[in-house]
Amino acid sequence: MASEITYAEVKFKNESPAPVVKGPPETKKPEQHPQKYPLWLPWLISLLLLLVCIALVVVLLVVPFCHSSDQPSALQQQFSEWECDSAVPQGTDRGWMCCPKGWRRFQGSCYFLSTDTMNCAESAENCTGMGSQLVVITSKAEQDFLYKQGTQPPSRENFYIGLFEDDVGQWQWVDKTPYNVNATFWRNEEPSPGHTENCTVMYVPERNLNNWNDVRPTTKLYRICEAAAVTV
């Protein structure tokens, strides 16, 4: 008779528990600190802002000035430094009136009061060479402005203006503006008779608006040049 084999499940009381597998120790994450900017960054930002300001100046002043007309005036061709202000009549499309640096603006004109002397013909030629002309005075307001400018330092007595005697008693402005005897500012008993004194000056020491003298053309005196202001 075949013997039976009996299987039994046996548990031991002193059986040790299954070992616990430990992982590597947990590492602490580094603390998050705000990112520090490089020291040169503020300087870079300042430089960029400066470049932006320069670009705005170029756009607002230089570019419009360069395109103020299709053909630059003779005055624009002679000078590279200009002074502009916004005192223009209302209703105009452009907002700045400009004169060469060192010139003085009144209404729509720029004026140059020289600090060196020349004779009459040389004075006219000098003004023309700068893209202007000897001044043509057409109003009391203009005469008053130029008289006040002439009294400012340095001290100067006589300024050539653009009024000439073509023939005895026939006076003519350099730009062919009609001569109006009622809109002149001659001194008492001026102009002198004859044709030897055929150029005109503004005599500043007279201390009033009637201060024009006729003089000989060879006399070396100061001069006032005039040109139209450039509008941009």
Per-position DSSP letters for the chain, written without gaps between them: -PPP--------TTPPPPPPPP-PPPPPPPPP-PPPPPTTHHHHHHHHHHHHHHHHHIIIIIHHHHTSSSS--HHHHH-S-EEEE----TT-S---EEEETT-EEETTEEEEE-SS-B-HHHHHHHHHHTT-EE----SHHHHHHHHHHHTSSSP--EEEEEEEEEETTEEEETT-PPP-GGG--BPTT-SPSSSS--EEEEEGGG-SS--EEEE-TT--BEEEEEEEPEE-
Q: Give pLDDT, residue 41.
A: 73
Bigger pLDDT: 122 vs 78: 122
Q: Give pLDDT, residue 2.
A: 47
pTM here? 0.68
Tell me the average pLDDT of the chain: 82
User: What mean pLDDT is predicted for residues 162-169?
Assistant: 93
Looking at the predicted structure, is the pLDDT value of residue 37 above 80?
no
Please report which confidence band the pLDDT of residue 12 belongs to, taking 50, 70 and 90 as the band edges: very low
Looking at the predicted structure, is the pLDDT value of residue 225 above 60?
yes
If you classify domain 60-87+94-231 with CATH, what class do you get? Answer: alpha beta
